[in-house]
Amino acid sequence: MWNWFYKLGSPPHFYRIAGRLEPWIMGIAVLLLAVGSYGGLFVAPPDYLQGEGFRIIYVHVPSAFMSMFAYAVMAVASAIGLIWRMKLAFCVAAAAAPAGAALTFLALATGAIWGQPMWGTWWEWDPRLTSELVLLFLFIGYMLLRRAMPDAGKADRASGILAIVGVVNLPIIHYSVEWWNSIHQGPSLIKLEAPSIAGDMLWPLLMMILAYNLLFVALLFTSVRTQILKRESNAKWVSDLLT
């Protein structure tokens, strides 16, 4: 039953599979990005309150969603690595951190660009914004902790524990607009009722979210393959690969 799990955890096996899948996933992601961007910029009508300024959601919402998803991937991979001592899992966690930090920064930057004309300020210590900023610090702290430890095993364990502890911030980000008084817009997609967004605005947004997901996976595969080559540089299969 668990053979597939352990086989997937084999660095050479994962390296080969990721190498085959990465260009296809990247190609589909680029196609969806193009279609979603066109739909968001030229097909979706202006918002009746925000006008043309609402279109930044087609970058802001996917990047904010994926920032949390990237952290969840990093934390789950760290837990798998700590429990089953699987080196590949630590490679996945290490590869997810830079992409997650970039997505978090993009979410904060686009939020500030949107907030200045809508709220009259670039930044507000709002619960949603503050918890998203904490997420960026967690990503940065994870990467710095790994760099600070020359021993790979100790770096894996210490950074993995940090990643797992930081998971508590994810529900805070998601539910902050419901738990506290917040000027941030409430949930429009992930809620019990139907999404409170018009269909001609919704489909480009869903397409962009899917595109960001696939783009993240493609970049993750590329980064994990690099991590594998660094860790397995003395392995025979790597030598055979490079000759």
pLDDT, position 189: 59
Percentage of the chain with pLDDT > 70? Answer: 90
Band of the pLDDT at 181, cuts 50, 70, 90?
confident
Give the three-state DSSP class for 126: coil
pLDDT for 141-160, tens place per residue? 999 999 999 999 999 999 99
Task: Give the structural domain span for 150.
Answer: 17-242
pTM given for the model: 0.91
Mean pLDDT value across the chain: 90
192 part of a folded domain: yes
214 part of a folded domain: yes
126 part of a folded domain: yes
Percentage of the chain with pLDDT > 90? Answer: 66
> Between 107 and 51, whose confidence is greater?
107
- Number of compact structural domains in the chain: 1
For the segment 195-214, the average pLDDT, to the nearest whole number, is: 89
What is the rounded end-to-end Cα distance, in angstroms, of the chain? 36
Residue 192 has pLDDT above 50, yes or no: no
6 part of a folded domain: no
Using CA atoms, how far residue 59 sits from 160, 171, 207, in Å, is 29, 22, 11
Band of the pLDDT at 234, cuts 50, 70, 90?
confident
2 part of a folded domain: no
User: Which of 58, 61, 64, 66 minimizes the C-alpha distance to 204?
Assistant: 58
Taking each helix axis from N to C end, the angle separating 199-231 and 57-84, rounded to the nearest 10 degrees, works out to 40
Q: Report phi then psi at 193, rounded to 5.
A: -80, 175
pLDDT, position 185: 67
The full length of the chain comes to 243
> Between 219 and 197, whose confidence is greater?
219
3 part of a folded domain: no
* Angle (nearest 5°) at CA 164 between 142 and 140: 15
1 part of a folded domain: no
Distance in angstroms (rounded) separating the CA atoms of residues 63 and 140: 17
Distance in angstroms (rounded) separating the CA atoms of residues 32 and 214: 9
36 part of a folded domain: yes
